[in-house]
Amino acid sequence: MTSPLIHDALPTVLVVDDEVRSQDAMRRTLDEDFTVFTASSAEEARGLLERQPVSVILCDQRMPGITGVAFLKEVRERWPEVVRIVISGYTDSEDIIAGINEAGIYQYILKPWSPDHLLEAVRNAVEAQTLQRQTSRLDLELRTSTRVLRQRTARQVVQARHHFGFERIVRAAGSPIELVCAMAERAARYDLPVLVLGESGTGKELLARAIHYASPRLEGPFEVENCAAIPDTLLESELFGHKRGAFTGAYEDHAGLFQRADGGTVFLDEIGETSPAFQVKLLRVLQEGEVRPVGAARPVPVDVRIIAATHRQLEQRVHDGLFREDLYYRLAGVTLTVPPLRARVADITPIAHQIVQDVARELGHPGAVLPDETLACLLAYPWPGNIRELRNEIARAMALHDGIELPPGAFSARVLQGRAVGGGDLVSALPANGTLTERLDVIEAMVLRETLLRHRWNKTRTAAELGLSRVGLRAKMQRFGLEK
């Protein structure tokens, strides 16, 4: 065995041949471009491979005790990164062909070899090894970053679950939204489409998110599209994607929201506003489980759960021919109705407190206190814009009012007038959805609130005016969350 002066910059080649003359010939050919080691037997070669990193091994097929291919098979198992070349005469070719796959031979060179051919073969082998190393490094980096990404995703999932779970839906004990949440939590477990009905600002999106994070899809994305916000043509490309050149301005392929949400949930808000043409396309996606990007020849399979929402009476729209019946039934696997805020007066106080905290955090505000007089005022207003309106009112009052305590005067005239008339206009205050009992409950709560306010929360006088016993009045106040 000979060990050359190791030249750091040159790749290393190990020549294994029991004939010293062949070894020398190969060394002379390769010496200028490579650091060449030689070994006269498999035994010697093993010793060297154990001590010395080698890029390429050139092995004669005929050696005492072991064939080149059999030895290279061992090399493959123990030093898989070494690129293997076998050198043989014509008569050996059958053995080589039989073992070539098992030994993972990069190339075999026939004797008599020409120096140029040998040099080129070794150069190519070194290049192949460099590429292989780069690929393995990239592969490792990819696997590591995917793992980091997954870990981060798992952490984010826990956080998201905390931020968007059902506990984020603030409500008073006994609130009608409790029943909605209980149904939603059950529905979340099964891969059924969900249709969420309710007026604007009632928390339909919040409920949809909670469903996603309580579902087996929680690690997948939750993608939101407001179908009323963009014209039909854009909506199609936004949801289903488009191919480059599909229309003017489509400079690149674009993955649509459905593809981005693969494995997760798509929340389609304001579904009632979509055109009949778009409804047909959406129906096809739901039926076939695949989307066809605009301008694409082939559809792409997608695996998403759909939660759709609307403030419209969707069944009525079906009846009026404005919404496809077949699509309606596809979307309405489970239908949940979020009651308006005025139908759950008991929720106003805890939600208002939560909003104060949220807004303080978001605006970097020191925080605010809502005195009883202000809460009474908030309770008396019918909140046609629901929780979104409540949130806007509180944020505005916190931003504009000096001082921690927010008196009724910090709120807009609309809200103050609501208090003055004790519940506002009855018709506009009525919920758009719900059973007769639910709607009558809203009216009952408004009448109670108005009378209580007029009598400055004096229960004896309020009960007397309404023909109730004090105990009866207290029970109703409790039921509707009308505690001052």
Which residues make up the interface to ligand ATP (CB under 6 A)?
A: 169-171, 198, 200-206, 269, 311, 351, 354, 387-388, 391
User: Between residues 23 and 433, which has the closer beta carbon with respect to ligand ATP?
Assistant: 433
User: Between residues 1 and 206, which has the closer beta carbon with respect to ligand ATP?
Assistant: 206
Nearest approach in angstroms of CB 196 to ligand ATP is 8
Nearest approach in angstroms of CB 260 to ligand ATP is 20
User: Between residues 204 and 292, which has the closer beta carbon with respect to ligand ATP?
Assistant: 204
CA atoms of 205 and 196, how far apart (whole Å): 9
CA atoms of 311 and 231, how far apart (whole Å): 19
CA atoms of 399 and 54, how far apart (whole Å): 71
User: Between residues 388 and 476, which has the closer beta carbon with respect to ligand ATP?
Assistant: 388
Nearest approach in angstroms of CB 184 to ligand ATP is 12
User: Between residues 387 and 445, which has the closer beta carbon with respect to ligand ATP?
Assistant: 387
Nearest approach in angstroms of CB 338 to ligand ATP is 6
Nearest approach in angstroms of CB 428 to ligand ATP is 17
Q: Is 286 exposed, middle or buried (0-12, 13-18, 19+ CB in 10 A)?
A: middle
Nearest approach in angstroms of CB 205 to ligand ATP is 3
User: Between residues 122 and 169, which has the closer beta carbon with respect to ligand ATP?
Assistant: 169
Nearest approach in angstroms of CB 402 to ligand ATP is 25
Q: Which residue is nearest to ligand ATP (CB)?
A: 203
User: Between residues 82 and 336, which has the closer beta carbon with respect to ligand ATP?
Assistant: 336
User: Between residues 93 and 200, which has the closer beta carbon with respect to ligand ATP?
Assistant: 200
User: Between residues 143 and 163, which has the closer beta carbon with respect to ligand ATP?
Assistant: 163
Nearest approach in angstroms of CB 276 to ligand ATP is 22
Nearest approach in angstroms of CB 358 to ligand ATP is 8
Q: Assess contact for 291 and 258: CB atoms under 8 A.
A: yes
